[in-house]
Amino acid sequence: MRRSWTGAALAAGLGILGLAGPAAAATCESLKDLKLADAHVESAVPLAASDVVTPAGFQPRLTAGTPVCRVIGVLTPTPASQIRFEVWLPGAGGWNGKLLGLGNGGYGGSLSGPMLLMRGEVARGYATAASDMGHTAGGDIDAKWALGQPEKIKDFGYRAIHLTAGAAKALIAAYYGAGPKLAYFHGCSDGGREALMEAQRFPQDYDAIAAGAPAIPWTGLMSGFLWNNRLLSQPGSALPKAKLQLVQAAVLAQCDRLDGVADGVLEDPRACRFDPARLQCKAGDAASCLTAEQVKSLSGLYRGPTGGGRSLFPGFTAGGEAIPGGWEGWITGPTASQGRFATEFFRWMVFADPNWDPATFNIERDGARARRGFGPILDADNPDLSAFRARGGKLILYHGWADAAIPAKNTVAYYQSVQARMGPRTADFARLFLVPGMSHCATGPGPSVFDAVGALDAWRDKAAAPERLIATKYDNDIFAYLGLPAKPVRTRPLCAYPKVARWSGSGSTDDAANFSCAAPRGR
């Protein structure tokens, strides 16, 4: 896949990328000496297919799977910046000519998460790149690094992903003798926010982008997280695991057959008119009912945060309340992630006060303060994608309906804002896919494993616009994501919004071939 350039032509190409160095790197190891603008390469090491690349503390054991040149470097755009990045380059003859940037999750702070995806994508021929978002942290729910560090917050907000793209293209040009013919980006959760930040702020970086469950607008999402936390902290309002199971059973009993298939998954939860009051105890409390306080808190979670008599953020849809790791892990449990994420944001960024108490939170007052101070840096909810569209960019948005971290209705609202801004031909360059029964970015009772990158590639490289994606449910979805052995259980089409999958009425309901994409029935 190497292409010969004259020394002058290659030098000019590298100059555009902001680096000076040898005309082409003859070996992986020689990339160590490449000179990058505001950056340096720490190591460039060839990996054999059998070399272990398992991140610390992760199981099972993972190998590279294919020969790779693994480059590790540090970007220093400001004196306060330390953005660690990695670029994995498939071995000779194994590169498909394309770059794939991968997003991080939560607050970032390491490359462990992206590494799990990089190994699978280099096996498919992509040169891959990712960063730690510009800081080291003790897990992805840790924002202590942000205290008194405005440049690191900018690195996290948008600069790390942008500069990593430039460094990756430079390394690719040096190693292969030519830059990538196309560049894609894929991220979910904060990675989805990063993806949209690229489309909105740096449309020249990537030719096609997949944004899953985007954490946007960041300031509004964090405010919503704390509102939920405060709602559930009111006396008698907590929703223990047994009550979540009660609620989900009642929702499915009422709504599971609305889509024509009784499978424990709601195709479009918005069609479910479930009223929590139907479960209210006649008196006191019991295992088979909800107290008045619990009805109020559940109704609030479905409705979403409010203030001043208006909606401030979308709420959650019904049908996935008791999914393992879902509501209990994200919203209702004693150590729920939403409250922890938001407390970190307001404590270390918005108020910059280690002693800030989340019990003092007021969504109207403090949410406005967050937007003023950090919206321009973090939010990534601008619907104006004109520059991205003008250069031929393609965007795939996706979100799981059973997501307990970020409400799926939030991504629907963003896509609708893009349609309003970009006009009736929005689907020519941007499409949304909603995933029934998928939890946050992965897993859940519905088919949730699908090839977003492959769909991007077909759309941008071959002009094959995605009308439907085929999703698979495995006996171990995580193994399937990592390319490890897993048994398929069910397939289902994911339809381009606003269409939904509809069973033909015959054939197995576990086979996507027996479903078509159709307009949703009246909600």
The dihedral over CA atoms of 18, 20, 24, 25, expressed in degrees to the nearest 10, equals -100
For residue 363, tell me if it sits in a domain: yes
Please indicate, yes or no, whether residues 176 and 225 belong to a single structural domain of this protein: no
Domain boundary pick from 324, 352, 377? 377
For residue 71, tell me if it sits in a domain: yes
User: Which pLDDT does position 485 carry in this prediction?
Assistant: 94
d(C-alpha 388, C-alpha 381), whole Å: 14
Please indicate, yes or no, whether residues 255 and 156 belong to a single structural domain of this protein: no
For residue 45, tell me if it sits in a domain: yes
Please indicate, yes or no, whether residues 160 and 14 belong to a single structural domain of this protein: yes
Q: Which residues contact 202 (CB under 8 A, 6 or more apart)?
A: 158, 162, 165
For residue 442, tell me if it sits in a domain: no
Q: Which residues constitute the domain of residue 326? A: 220-377
For residue 206, tell me if it sits in a domain: no
C-alpha gyration radius of the chain: 23
**Tens digit of each residue's pLDDT, the chain (523 residues):** 222 222 222 232 333 333 334 445 469 999 999 999 899 999 999 999 999 999 988 888 899 999 999 999 999 999 999 999 999 999 978 999 999 999 999 999 999 999 999 999 999 999 999 999 999 998 899 999 999 999 999 999 999 999 999 999 999 999 999 999 999 999 999 999 999 999 999 999 999 999 999 999 999 999 999 999 999 999 999 999 999 999 999 999 999 999 999 999 999 999 999 999 999 999 999 999 999 999 999 999 999 999 988 999 999 999 999 999 899 999 999 999 999 999 999 999 999 999 999 999 999 999 999 999 999 999 999 999 999 999 999 999 999 999 999 999 999 999 999 999 999 999 999 999 999 999 999 999 999 999 999 999 999 999 999 999 999 999 999 999 998 999 999 999 999 999 999 999 999 999 999 999 999 986 5
Please report the DSSP string for 408-450 in residue order: HHHHHHHHHHHHHHH-TTGGGTEEEEEETT--SSS-SSS--B-
Nearest to 91 by CA among 65, 129, 52, 73: 65
Please indicate, yes or no, whether residues 26 and 174 belong to a single structural domain of this protein: yes
For residue 500, tell me if it sits in a domain: no
User: Which pLDDT does position 522 carry in this prediction?
Assistant: 63
Please indicate, yes or no, whether residues 74 and 155 belong to a single structural domain of this protein: yes
Please indicate, yes or no, whether residues 176 and 237 belong to a single structural domain of this protein: no
For residue 92, tell me if it sits in a domain: yes
Please indicate, yes or no, whether residues 142 and 266 belong to a single structural domain of this protein: no
Please indicate, yes or no, whether residues 144 and 225 belong to a single structural domain of this protein: no
Please indicate, yes or no, whether residues 169 and 270 belong to a single structural domain of this protein: no
Residue 516, both tokens: 């078509």
185: Cα within 13 Å, side-chain hemisphere: 34
For residue 339, tell me if it sits in a domain: yes
Please indicate, yes or no, whether residues 95 and 239 belong to a single structural domain of this protein: no
Please indicate, yes or no, whether residues 244 and 339 belong to a single structural domain of this protein: yes
Domain boundary pick from 361, 377, 393? 377
d(C-alpha 218, C-alpha 203), whole Å: 20
Q: Which residues are catalytic?
A: 189, 403, 440
User: Which pLDDT does position 57 carry in this prediction?
Assistant: 82
Domain boundary pick from 152, 180, 208? 180
Query: How many independent structural domains does the chain possess?
Result: 2
Please indicate, yes or no, whether residues 151 and 272 belong to a single structural domain of this protein: no
